[in-house]
Amino acid sequence: MASKYFTWTSICPLLVFLCLNQDVVVAQITYPTPTDFKNFLTNDPYDSYNKNIFPRVNQADNVTVTIQFYLIAITSFDEVNGQIKTVGYYDISWENQLLTWTTTQSSMDNMLIGQDNFWRPNIVMRNSVDKLEEIGSKYYRIRIEKNGTHEWLVGAISKTACTVDVTYYPFDRQTCSIILTSWGYSPKQVVLTSDYSTIDLVHYEKSLEWDLESTTVESDLSGSAPTISFKLHLKRKPAFFIVNMVVPILILGMLNSFVFLLPQESGERVGYAITAFLTFAVFLTMVSDGLPKTSSPMSQLSYFLAIMMTISSVTTFLTILTLRIFHMDENTKPPRWLRLFVAFFLCDTCRKYCCKSKEEKEKIKAREKKRRKREKELKKKKKNKEEIQVQDLDDEEDEEEEYDEDGYKIDKDFTKHIDWKLTAQTIDVLLFFIFTAGSSCVCYFFLGPLFNYASI
């Protein structure tokens, strides 16, 4: 009930007490001063500290160095030379048992001092393509805590080697690593590790050419020196290459076989074929210039362009051949085997057997039945009369058309109408279908896996 009648008069004695004793309260809150910092530098433990001594009381113990990588940007990726350039910084920390103090020794809880005044784990970028040297410089500082914890923030613009796999270019994925090692120390002395399994991307700026799918951090103590790898899993953004390279190649591949549909009289067939061949050669050069000069692995797009260029060269040769056939002497006839081939392709034989009316077929069957009956009658006659009758029958049948055993008329040469021009035109149509189907199969075989890989 007393709390309901609480008034400001009840706390006035407390306020008066605090005001009268404010000097005592303030005096209990102390802050480090420049003098304290100077005293720390001129007294133990810093004054007697030697940076050349391994930072363990027991020199047989190891030092665990924790490294966290903060990626800022991927500035370039050179696929031809297999190099990636990144910008970021490392947060490196370890415990120095030789540099600890208590509040009685110094009021300083932590401080920043130049890196050259302390022991460091000699971190070197092992797969650098520029030079092998310790990261950091004299301008960086190390924050030391009174419990012996050292924290070292080091910026780095690194250019490292990267094994490039262009099998599915331009839908390829690449994995590049930044490998750090403690130069001169064994895994029994220094252990490189990270508190996180991924790279910190809080400051990362997205690349215009690559998507950063994921990152991993791996520590390796199995070698002669401790290493830690920061891996970047990249996926190329293929829109630019699809619009400027893949689509034109597909269109050109479809147009390649249309040379056989151009009229022979146009005079543009050979020029069309050679232009297509040279265009494929130009695209092959463009793709090769942007890829590593290695034989394994090679891009499937390079194989595709090489095959399409071969098909284009064969197309050019066959175009010249069909033009030669088309302009052969009109007074001569193609060989019989060639005329039979053309007739088969034009289905002349099918028309002969399948394109007759029902009445005509009935007449043929009746005539064949009559002929067979007369042959049986002739066989029953005497030998001397049989020769006369057979001769008469042959004369009579010479006047009629010949028929096969099914009653169909036999045309001894139904290819007389086939000349060189018809032969060339027929071959053109046949080659058009063959090369269209072949180009489609090549596109499906080589480009299909590329698009399937891109959709994963």
pTM tops 0.75: no
Q: What is the largest CA-CA distance in the chain?
A: 165
The whole-angstrom separation of Cα 301 and Cα 245 is 10
Of 173, 254, 185, nearest to 214 (Cα)?
A: 173
- Which residue ranges form the domains of the chain, and what is each CATH number? 34-237 (2.70.170.10), 241-329+433-454 (1.20.58), 336-418 (no CATH)
Q: Which whole number is the average pLDDT over 418-431?
A: 84
Helical spans, DSSP H, in 203-347? 239-241, 247-256, 269-289, 300-326, 336-345
Structure tokens at 12: 């006035």
Q: What pLDDT score does 73 carry?
A: 93
Q: Are 322 and 260 in contact (CB under 8 A)?
A: yes
pLDDT mean across residues, the chain: 79
pLDDT for res 305 = 84
Residue 295 identity? S
Q: Label the pairing between strands 190-193 and 63-78.
A: parallel
Q: Report how far residue 134's alpha carbon sits from residue 107's, in angstroms, rounded to the nearest whole number.
A: 33
Determine which of 182-196, 310-324, 364-378 has the lowest per-residue pLDDT on average: 364-378
Task: Residue count of the chain, please give it.
Answer: 456
Looking at residue 12, its pLDDT comes to 53
pLDDT at site 363: 61
pLDDT at 439: 84
In our burial notation (b when 16+ CB lie closer than 10 A, e otherwise), range 410-436 reads: eeeeebeebbbebbbbbbbeebeeebb
pLDDT tens sequence across 28-82: 456 778 887 787 778 888 888 888 899 998 988 899 999 999 999 999 998 888 8
pLDDT tens for 234-293 read 999 888 888 888 888 888 888 888 888 888 787 788 888 888 888 888 888 888 777 777
Query: Which whole number is the average pLDDT over 143-169?
Result: 90
The runs of H, that is alpha helices, within 49-166 are: none
Q: How much is the pLDDT for 253?
A: 82
Instruction: State residue 152's pLDDT score.
Output: 93
Instruction: Give the Cα separation of 151 and 91 in Å (integer).
Output: 7
pLDDT digits (tens, 9 = 90+) for 117-135: 899 999 999 998 888 888 8
